[in-house]
Structure 1
């Protein structure tokens, strides 16, 4: 800390007195250490936020097996509500960092996750809980989805433009891993009593699958996250500082005057909207498509692979976007998403389990290209806007794309109710992805584009 200019940090309080990441001397003298420390801590908190956001997707396939009597449509609604809440809350979060600063926003929004986690901890222990209560708790899980639109803009303020693709990809990619973590850990953690079966941890539930009964502890899926959320939320309050880039609510509306705000929103809806929507519905797609066959797969043994592949692809694509340019990488990612959406459509109405490996492979390829596009679009935005505006655009595009789980849940509920198949949805997605490929080419990726980025 001794090498850091004394004017950079206030002795106490929230706001840094100076922050100039594009100044190489400032960056080398200590700015880099603060930026990377902030990135590390906010990334851990973002990972927990995604885990809380997608907790419902990991629980919903188990609810009918422990006595909850819900239709396929009702189950898709439960997976859709966190997306509805996440997108709506992101529209609020996008304004928070320039108003209240990184320290307050990250710590308090992380601690707010205790509300849905405690709610689900108790609700899954009682199959008589009304459906509307579970809908409310699903909506509150969206608190985790909202955090993205304040955490990511915060990170965009801490780093110079030359490193933004890498920094944002690391944070978002590792944060996205929260989806895989909760979907991977849940099937294992619910299989035994935590803390030696302490009374306050609740009783087991009887799970019936293929006529075989076993004892599970669904509440463990939420319980295991609670101490981490409390610890890292408090740590953020103690260790984080805030960049002195401030703007009130009204001043931040200037981003909506730019056509780039709307084009980047569409591109990010393609990439992250596709990623989040499919991550939330992947377990139910497996259950609805292949659950009726003999030897049907356990959805949660496969579903976590999709978010995992997409998250790791996002981390890897960040440095690639810094090197090659975000628009070029987005172009190839979009083409890949078009091809994969068409391919998935071929296997969502299977005749036998023999088609399951092909379905999973096509889905994982779709997650892979979506993850790459998630990173490259976030490289494009800081190149098109000034730092404070770029932070706002990142927050807004993330807010709209966070409706992915809600929109996908509704689309699949409609498709299964009307056609008893998800095939129309994937053909529609292919068309939407193709439109975005054309948009990106015309505005940013083609030779001679007015705004190459």
Structure 2
């Protein structure tokens, strides 16, 4: 759909109508900061693009994290992999996904948001179809599983392009909520794949309401389901989404954001928020399985069955992300981000405390598994608090990104001048590029966290887990200090009040 700069035709009732399309699905005139334009046309178009963007991104996250819970079922399907090997399978998609976020971000201004959504959704067929084949071949070697798991990172790149695209559609005052909803819809893909996969593959899910399949585990079923949904997302983007001419820019122009100190500060903070969310989400099924469950008697074993609870962390973190965006719109992103890190510090310390109460290697004894089981409610409750804080921090940091660049544009130009309009347009493009860079760096946390839990140099998995949480707690302390020092400490030239007023 194309919006032209010509006057809008008016009906007998005096209501403005949508302008005529002139160039397929490209919109030439897009002015979200114009209240009249936004109310008459922009809001409706933006919401439609947001809805289908959420759907496509949701599938991307599901495919990205399909190994997080399927890895826990590989042994049941006959593959003899060690805990260290399983954690690596969980980590590899996160590494590839983080690296792909930068080119995916640049693809939006280069090819158009709608066009790239079609491409990125279609690319999800690669990891899903390869997954479906590999898990049905008992002779598939571990290195092949690693390569196939790496292709799941294609789903991780979807987030960056989706967020960059939606950033262009909404006015500054609504970016926090819009980006929060878009991200939350995507993040829910993590929870949904962890919730539905055990049911789809016959591994028992929904707190035991669905029974395990008599024919054993069939992991390929989940892959076929998501391959079909990827086709639906591709077709939906073709018919229901739009490209914005105003979003066009070159990769060289977008890469200018790497020269700004704020880009790297926000990337560092995003490792703490989103990196923790995606890393903990990927590792949670294996953490529960290794510390609270014994395989006998099959199929549900003794202790806490990981498939019943694996999805809860991602669900909580996804649901609180829009709250973080809303709170940032209301109180300022830096204040909310600092509060989120404070909550993450407290939460990880309490998770660490519960881990000190566990007995290592529950697989050695059913009695040990049952003793560890009594501590699981505390572990889960504190871990969910950490997930909630990561979601709030994700929403608030992403609100800060466009606010930082917009504030720079406002301070460097005079109101009502052509320079101000050009600066604001450039700020939107730069903030979208920054979203890609920051998202790419932040997602590396999703690779590092599972590796920290595996710690092949530590013999006891429980000791490795406790050591990892000690490191994570220290890192959150550093993130909190950086947030305060850069954004909340009274600046020398700019008052803290003006920073908060700008949404930073």
- TM-score by shorter chain over 0.5: yes
Distance 1:353 1:240, change over 3 A: same
Distance 1:359 1:214, change over 3 A: farther
- Partner of 2:354: helix, strand, or coil? coil
Unaligned segments of structure 2, at least 5 residues: 1-7, 10-15, 204-211, 296-300, 360-371, 406-426
- Post-superposition offset of 1:62: 0.5
Partner of 1:427: 470
Candidates 336, 356, 373, aligned match of 2:376:
356
Do residues 175 (structure 1) and 195 (structure 2) align? no
Partner of 2:369: none
Candidates 320, 326, 331, aligned match of 2:327:
320
- Post-superposition offset of 1:130: 1.2
- Post-superposition offset of 1:387: 0.7
Q: Deviations over 1:136-163 (max 9, x none)?
A: 1100011000111111011111000100
Distance 1:451 1:442, change over 3 A: farther
- Post-superposition offset of 1:103: 1.1
- Post-superposition offset of 1:405: 2.4
- Post-superposition offset of 1:315: 2.0
- Post-superposition offset of 1:4: 4.6
Do residues 156 (structure 1) and 158 (structure 2) align? no
Distance in 1 (CA, whole Å) between partners of 2:148 and 2:25 is 32
- After TM superposition, what 4+ stretches of structure 1 lie above 6 angstroms from structure 2? none
Partner of 1:397: 438
- Post-superposition offset of 1:408: 1.2
Candidates 382, 396, 399, aligned match of 1:376:
396
- What is the 5 A alignment of 1:196-345? 215-244=216-245, 245-292=247-294, 295-345=302-352
Candidates 437, 448, 465, aligned match of 1:407:
448
- Partner of 1:128: helix, strand, or coil? coil
**TM-score (norm. length: structure 1):** 0.91
Task: Kindly report the root-mean-square deviation, in angstroms, between the aligned alpha carbons of the 2 structures.
Answer: 2.0
- Greater shift after overlay, 284-293 or 103-112? 284-293
Q: Deviations over 1:325-364 (max 9, x none)?
A: 1111111111001111111112235132211111111110
Distance in 1 (CA, whole Å) between partners of 2:348 and 2:229 is 36
Do residues 142 (structure 1) and 143 (structure 2) align? no
**Matched-pair contact (CA < 8 Å) for 2:54–2:183:** yes
- Post-superposition offset of 1:214: 5.2
Distance in 2 (CA, whole Å) between partners of 1:419 and 1:222 is 33
Partner of 2:480: 437
Do residues 77 (structure 1) and 88 (structure 2) align? yes
- Post-superposition offset of 1:395: 1.1
**TM-score (norm. length: structure 2):** 0.82
Unaligned segments of structure 1, at least 5 residues: 193-208
Distance in 2 (CA, whole Å) between partners of 1:154 and 1:116 is 24
Distance in 1 (CA, whole Å) between partners of 2:347 and 2:194 is 23
The structure that has the greater radius of gyration is 2
- Greater shift after overlay, 260-269 or 232-241? 232-241
**Matched-pair contact (CA < 8 Å) for 2:77–2:216:** no
Distance in 2 (CA, whole Å) between partners of 1:75 and 1:321 is 37
Distance in 2 (CA, whole Å) between partners of 1:397 and 1:316 is 20
